[in-house]
Structure 1
Amino acid sequence: MSLSLSYPNNEARTSITKAAYTLLLDYCGSILPNEACGVLAREKERHSIDIILPIRNIHPHPSESFYFDPEEWTAACFSMEKNRQQLVGFFHSHPNTAAIPSNRDGEGFHFHSGFQYWIISLTDPSAPVVQPYRHQDGVFMPAQLVFA
């Protein structure tokens, strides 16, 4: 499978609160040298991501790939439902590579097009790079990140 990226002229925008952004970076940095992963959510009445739900990576080779712990993934889903929160998307880190989807990322993404997919590159942990994507028709499309 060949991974394709599309860079549209009118880049989609996505927003996150500064508090959630800080939590996201802190969490991803704390998991090094392994890949961090989790869920991006928001209060149902809000338009910006304001909730980061880390999920334990149980992949046999966690420095190279990620796999959600099924129990924590289920708990996150129940928590979002109970607290009237909306799932916006998913995140994971690349400890040693750029914030560009790998072929493995494309093969592992089985959700419908409405969800966002964020990659956090930690090749330089003191200067992380966060790139949100939208996945549409088998293509990762970069989105512009703005702070709420």
Structure 2
Amino acid sequence: MIHHLEAAWPQEGCGVILQGAGGAGEEGAFRVVPLPNVAPTPRVAYAFAPDAWLQVCLEADARRETLVCVFHSHVDTAATFSAEDRRRAAPAGIPLLPCVSYEVIAIHGGRATSAARFVWRDGDFQGVPIRLPDFRFEKPL
């Protein structure tokens, strides 16, 4: 997820995280699915390509996966759930995906700097900062 969002900079990147069914009381594996951002203003907004989103939904259904997270980046600004994010996720104050979390990753200069998770609770999206793990494997010479 982090690599996809950093690679999308200086535009917002986006995608989803799905979880498999698991078995015998165990949680299933997670799968990160990057999606193309087709927003008309991709530096400040994201939108899934309808055909790519449909394909993800069909594959998830066939694999018995559940959508657990929508993620996207914010370019050179904070990892907050913006007014635009709220408007798209809950038009007219009604969440489109009430059981799904939203993760926002701040990307500054092409590098992830902070992250936060937002969930629908008590009539609004509530945010929680999350630790941003370092997935980079480069070593200084």
Asked if TM exceeds 0.5, the reply is: yes
Q: Which runs of 5+ in 1 are unaligned?
A: 1-23
Mapped to 2, the partners of 1:39 and 1:65 lie a distance apart of: 16
AA partner of residue 89 (structure 1) = C
Note if 1:55 corresponds to 2:35.
yes
Note if 1:116 corresponds to 2:104.
no
Deviation at 1:51?
1.1
Note if 1:95 corresponds to 2:75.
yes
Mapped to 2, the partners of 1:106 and 1:49 lie a distance apart of: 28
Q: Which runs of 5+ in 2 are unaligned?
A: 91-95, 134-141
Deviation at 1:137?
4.5
Q: Provide the identity percentage.
A: 25
2:20 counterpart (43, 64, 72): 43
Structure having the higher Rg: 2
Further displaced range: 73-82 or 127-136: 127-136
SS at match of 1:59: coil
Deviation at 1:72?
0.3
Mapped to 1, the partners of 2:53 and 2:27 lie a distance apart of: 23
Deviation at 1:94?
0.2
SS at match of 1:75: helix
1:25-81 per-residue CA deviation (whole Å, 9 max, x = no partner) reads 000011110001111111122547721111111111111111110000000001111
Further displaced range: 60-69 or 128-137: 128-137
Mapped to 2, the partners of 1:48 and 1:119 lie a distance apart of: 23
1:94-115 per-residue CA deviation (whole Å, 9 max, x = no partner) reads 0121111111111010313211
1:34 counterpart (11, 15, 24): 11
CA RMSD of aligned residues (A): 2.1
Larger RCO: 1 or 2 (CA < 8 Å, sep 6+): 1
AA partner of residue 42 (structure 1) = Q
1:142 counterpart (105, 108, 127): 127
Mapped to 2, the partners of 1:137 and 1:40 lie a distance apart of: 24
Mapped to 2, the partners of 1:138 and 1:96 lie a distance apart of: 29
In the alignment, is the contact (CA less than 8 A) between 1:25 and 1:128 conserved in 2?
no
